[in-house]
Structure 1
Amino acid sequence: MAGIKILLLSITVAFSAYYFFSTETVTPGSVHGKRILVTGSSTGIGEQIAYEFAQMGAHVMLTARRETHLQKVAEKCRKLGALSAHYVVSDMANLTSAQHVIQVTNEKLGGLDYLILNHVGGSGSFGTFQGDMDVVKSSMTVNFLSYVQLTSSALHALKESHGSIVVMSSMSGRVGAPFTTSYCAAKFALEGFYSSLRREFSIWKNNVSVTVAVLGYIDTENAVKKVGDKLTMKPSPKEDCAKQVVKAAILRQPEVFYPFWSIKPVMLVKDWAPILIGNLLDRFYIVENLK
């Protein structure tokens, strides 16, 4: 009976939070002329985020490893209404490359209003941890240290513009998920670093917002290819995900959960019933396809 009461309370709180945030709206004018950097923007969620800002008349800077993809995304951003669309090829496994991205952004855009940290990578695959430390180092470099490097390099520009940092996290950054140990480690590190940074900004009244996007399984090409046959759950659309993330960024919300009903209730219950949540989540894995 106590468990049921807790679950009902969690659902009620979740519904209230959803209702409150869903009533807030944004207008294109609030972003018109703003300078946006989106990492990992050649495909997937990052590409869709770039299109959302482009439609609102922003200046967009794209970065990823594949130049041909970046060229196509930049061209579409211009067609959608971006005041300008530039790109810089980068490899976030190299922290010097991350520094270079901010340098080029400042040169091309004259500053920065939104830093959207979306890229993901590393040498790890979806599977059982085999004790390979190179995999851990690779994931931590791309999925954590490069985020911090980009933030460090962009900090002066963001303070000048009273700008915003948006960090793509995951439910795997809040609840340990099997078969993605290195990825989970990086996402947990991101959550700790940026929640701490948000509090520092608040204490010193720097007026730089930090939005952490806690995402579930999204239908990006990379995600579906990697885990599509290993999970029973259905992925959520990247286009809608991008809309929700951009909305939260513009409203300077500290967090956004997408898909909301798949993630927020889990977050509310996990501290009260961690074993129950773990057992429920484990049922989504098709273990025989992992061997």
Structure 2
Amino acid sequence: MGYKMKGSCLVAFVAIIVYLYSDTFDPESLVNARVLVTGASAGIGEEIAYHYARAGANLVLTARRENVLITVRNKCLKLGAKTVSMVVADMGSSEDRNGVVEKAIADMGGLDYLVLNHIGYTPFQMWDGDVNHTRWLMEVNFLSYIHLATKALPYLAKSRGSVIVLSSLTGKIATPYTTSYGASKFALDGFFSSLRHELGMKGIPVSITLCILGLIDTQSAMEKVKDKISMPAYPAHDAALAVVSAGASRIEEMYYPWYVRPLCFFREWFPQSRAWVMQRSYQYKPEETVASL
């Protein structure tokens, strides 16, 4: 009888989880949507732009590389985007960031989705003591997200819009080789999860979707992890679709690929075993040890 009861509880638990995280995404809901996508020149950001374009959205795309951004803009128009504008900006510069949201509002007349996707380059290596790099990375990966979201919130409140924040499994579970990067992603989780509570308490109808991604097969990611990590990479095209879908469905947290959610769920269980498994999932060469440490 006890086993039956436990089995029933497990089934009920799974049913609740499925209900809470069920995807109600309707691509037609994005027709004429006004979307600002950062880091749109390559990787997941580029694929996100293409998914919105196929749905018939209006887009403002931003990145540092103008020539690559032009190529993405042209493809978005071919795929069916209603309008596509560009803003060339360095997210490490507060002066550059200041004009991004204003450009989006001027070109689209409002904003429905703010997709924060850009990241600063950081090597996939053990901590080398470079505090200045960490300070710069926090500016790009964390503070710029706050800056843009703060500027966009009044417009998103008018449209009952959404902030979509691209994060990582490394922002939920500490992993080797990602000290500075992981710190910036943990910071995003803390800030935007807290902000979500505050918006709810104030009755401001803006949703915040935190996207927790595992290893994705972007060119930059594959170059970094080569010979250092033993796990499969998943398609950027599919990851981008999961991001767009979660944002449109106003889901609080999205996990991609399949293994990310259970890892996050069980992260506090068996910490010693977790550390053992984690450390053996990465390839480590003794010569990588920093002499100063």
TM-score, with structure 1 as normaliser: 0.91
Shift of 1:26: 2.3
Q: Which residue of 2 aligns with 1:42?
A: 41
Q: Which residue of 1 aligns with 2:278?
A: 281
1:188-212 deviations in whole A, cap 9, x for unaligned?
A: 1000000001001111111100000
CA distance in 2, matches of 1:210, 1:18: 19
Alpha-carbon spacing, 1:193–1:27, altered in 2? closer, same or farther (3 Å): same
Give 3-state SS (helix, strand or coil) of 2:203's partner: coil
Residue 179 in structure 1 maps to residue 183 in structure 2: no
Select the structure of larger CA radius of gyration: 2
Alpha-carbon spacing, 1:216–1:12, altered in 2? closer, same or farther (3 Å): farther
Taking the TM superposition and a 5 Å limit, the aligned residue runs for 1:32-71 are 32-71=31-70
Shift of 1:28: 2.5
Q: Which residue of 1 aligns with 2:197?
A: 199
- Which amino acid is the alignment partner of residue 116 of structure 1? V
Task: Say if 2:23 and 2:246, in contact at 8 Å, map to a contact too.
Answer: no
Bigger mean CA deviation after superposition, 271-280 or 67-76: 271-280
Shift of 1:66: 0.7
CA distance in 2, matches of 1:290, 1:141: 31
Bigger mean CA deviation after superposition, 155-164 or 19-28: 19-28
CA distance in 2, matches of 1:173, 1:233: 18
Give 3-state SS (helix, strand or coil) of 2:285's partner: helix
- Which amino acid is the alignment partner of residue 67 of structure 1? E
Q: Which residue of 2 aligns with 1:72?
A: 71
CA distance in 1, matches of 2:123, 2:201: 40
Q: Which residue of 2 aligns with 1:118?
A: 117
CA distance in 2, matches of 1:232, 1:253: 30
Taking the TM superposition and a 5 Å limit, the aligned residue runs for 1:127-276 are 127-260=125-258, 262-276=259-273
- Which amino acid is the alignment partner of residue 53 of structure 1? Y
1:100-151 deviations in whole A, cap 9, x for unaligned?
A: 11111111111110000000114x3111212211011011000000000111
Residue 28 in structure 1 maps to residue 27 in structure 2: yes
Tell me how large the CA RMSD over aligned residues is. Answer: 2.1
CA distance in 2, matches of 1:279, 1:60: 45
Q: Which residue of 2 aligns with 1:5?
A: none
Q: Which residue of 1 aligns with 2:105?
A: 106
1:26-71 deviations in whole A, cap 9, x for unaligned?
A: 2222111110001001011001111111111100111111111111
Q: Which residue of 2 aligns with 1:95?
A: 94
Shift of 1:14: 9.0
Give 3-state SS (helix, strand or coil) of 1:85's partner: strand
CA distance in 2, matches of 1:225, 1:207: 40
Alpha-carbon spacing, 1:290–1:158, altered in 2? closer, same or farther (3 Å): farther
CA distance in 1, matches of 2:135, 2:250: 32
Alpha-carbon spacing, 1:23–1:190, altered in 2? closer, same or farther (3 Å): closer
Task: Say if 2:25 and 2:246, in contact at 8 Å, map to a contact too.
Answer: no
CA distance in 1, matches of 2:55, 2:287: 43
Alpha-carbon spacing, 1:228–1:14, altered in 2? closer, same or farther (3 Å): farther
- Which amino acid is the alignment partner of residue 109 of structure 1? M
CA distance in 1, matches of 2:137, 2:119: 8
Shift of 1:21: 6.5
Shift of 1:229: 2.2
Task: Say if 1:127 and 1:290, in contact at 8 Å, map to a contact too.
Answer: no
Count of aligned residue pairs for this structure pair: 281
Identical aligned residues as a percent: 41
Alpha-carbon spacing, 1:109–1:138, altered in 2? closer, same or farther (3 Å): same
CA distance in 2, matches of 1:14, 1:238: 31
Shift of 1:275: 2.1
CA distance in 1, matches of 2:224, 2:123: 8
Alpha-carbon spacing, 1:125–1:14, altered in 2? closer, same or farther (3 Å): farther
Question: Which ranges in structure 2 are unaligned for 5 or more consecutive residues?
Answer: 1-6, 289-293
Give 3-state SS (helix, strand or coil) of 1:287's partner: coil
Alpha-carbon spacing, 1:279–1:208, altered in 2? closer, same or farther (3 Å): same
CA distance in 2, matches of 1:17, 1:54: 34
- Which amino acid is the alignment partner of residue 152 of structure 1? T
